[in-house]
Amino acid sequence: MTRLVPAAQPLTTGRDNNGDQSFSDRPAGVARNTLTSPDTYNVDVTWTKIKTVKAESRTSVPASDIGAPQVTGGQSGAVQVGRVNFAGPRITWNLTVRNLLNNTQVRAVSGVLTSPLFGKAISFAAGRAITVGLNFNF
């Protein structure tokens, strides 16, 4: 679960108050970024299922020895040369849901005093998104 802090938004008049050809002037006595957008929160969920198709090893050791050290003998005794990690072909299913609760996430609020949308939300994040995946490893 994530929470986004409110973003600072500018407050402007929508007019060229000082004659500099810019219509993004602030009202007199108003500091920069005086407005803030509302708090937003988001809940994301991922579900993964891994299934081994057929447990086996490429080095022909019993399935109970998978992950055990494989050693070779020599003049000076046993020397470890690695581990058997192969457990056979695997299928992995993934399901990811972003914005699980599908709540409205406001990103920007109009700060133009002369606009009919002043103080209203004008930009939003995407709604719920669901991604499904399938992997086959061998």
Residues 42-97 pLDDT 10s? 899 999 999 888 765 455 555 555 555 555 555 555 444 555 455 678 899 999 99
Q: Do 130 and 124 form a contact (C-beta atoms < 8 A)?
A: no
Residues 10-25 pLDDT 10s? 788 787 777 888 777 8
What is the pLDDT at residue 112?
Answer: 85
Q: Rounded to whole angstroms, how far apart are CA atoms 67 and 80? A: 13
Residues 117-137 pLDDT 10s? 888 888 888 889 999 999 998
Residue 102 has pLDDT above 60, yes or no: yes
